[in-house]
């Protein structure tokens, strides 16, 4: 009989590293960014905390490895990437509407991204700076297209989009942390969510139809 290969923590380095990286996401979802300690990460991974210092320069290095591997904004945008690839600077209203609707759905249903946004607005760190830059790069691709379509028109689409994105973040975070209404709307109900989506579409439509 062939001798079985030992699959312990040290012999299976790649597997242990992946467990530690995945554990960062688990901690973010369950405890938020304030819970990202070596002890909590190791416990979530089911491994010894000494492996963190063995495989990574620091806990921050491990966290950075996890965050760098996540494409939050690509995932949140849904099929908008394909829409932008095909677009030549025409009918960008549909793209923006889809982008914001997809972000609302994804953000509402993704606990991890909710924690990431809370982290972003609570602490100034290099990791969160890069997350913000990823979002801005996605936005820049869209605005390059919309600028062609709206050239010469007095429409500040960036300001309108910024207010809508901020509103999406706040309403979702509010709905997840309290049981109270916001402007007498409960987006935890299908009716409330539909009202917000309709409002997003209406604001975008009115913006594009301005003058």
pLDDT of 187 higher than 90 = yes
pLDDT digits (tens, 9 = 90+) for 127-145: 888 878 878 888 898 999 9
What's the pLDDT score for residue 127? 81
Q: 182 pairs with which residues across the strands?
A: 185
Residue 138 CB coordination number (10 Å): 20
Domain residue extents for the chain: 13-68, 72-208
Total length of the chain? 211
pLDDT of 198 higher than 90 = yes
Q: Of 129-138, 148-157, 197-206, give the range with the top mean pLDDT.
A: 197-206
CATH architecture of 13-68: Orthogonal Bundle (1.10)
pLDDT of 4 higher than 60 = no
Q: Work out the average pLDDT over 65-92.
A: 83
Q: Work out the average pLDDT over 143-152.
A: 93
Q: Give the whole-angstrom CA distance, residue 39 versus residue 46.
A: 10
Contact assessment for residue 47 and residue 26, using Cβ atoms and an 8 Å cutoff: no
Closest by Cα among 115, 77, 117, 82 to 98: 77
User: Which two three-digit tokens encode residue 81?
Assistant: 């990437």
Contact assessment for residue 8 and residue 48, using Cβ atoms and an 8 Å cutoff: no
Residue 66 CB coordination number (10 Å): 19
pLDDT of 90 higher than 70 = yes
What's the pLDDT score for residue 197? 97
pLDDT digits (tens, 9 = 90+) for 40-64: 999 999 999 999 999 998 898 898 8
User: Which two three-digit tokens encode residue 96?
Assistant: 């923006």
Q: Work out the average pLDDT over 69-91.
A: 82
Residue 161 CB coordination number (10 Å): 20
The two counts, helices (H) then strands (E), for the chain are 11, 0
């Amino acid at each position: 009989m062939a001798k079985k290969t030992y699959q312990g923590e040290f012999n299976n380095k790649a597997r242990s590293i992946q467990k530690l990286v995945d554990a960062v996401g688990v901690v973010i979802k369950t405890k938020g960014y304030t819970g990202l300690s070596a002890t909590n990460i190791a416990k979530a991974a089911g491994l010894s905390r000494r492996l963190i210092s063995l495989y990574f320069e620091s806990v921050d290095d491990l966290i950075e490895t996890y965050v760098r591997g996540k494409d939050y904004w690509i995932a949140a945008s849904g099929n908008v990437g394909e829409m932008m690839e095909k677009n030549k600077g025409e009918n960008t209203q549909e793209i923006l509407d889809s982008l914001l609707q997809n972000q609302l759905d994804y953000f509402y249903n993704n606990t991890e991204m909710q924690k990431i946004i809370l982290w972003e607005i609570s602490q100034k760190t290099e990791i969160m700076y890069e997350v913000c830059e990823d979002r801005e790069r996605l936005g820049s691709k869209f605005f390059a297209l919309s600028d062609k379509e709206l050239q010469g028109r007095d429409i500040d689409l960036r300001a309108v989009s910024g207010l809508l994105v901020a509103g999406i973040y706040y309403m979702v975070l509010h709905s997840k942390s309290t049981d109270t209404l916001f402007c007498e709307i409960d987006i935890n109900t299908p009716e409330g969510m539909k009202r917000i989506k309709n409002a997003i579409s209406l604001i975008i439509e009115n913006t594009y139809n301005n003058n």
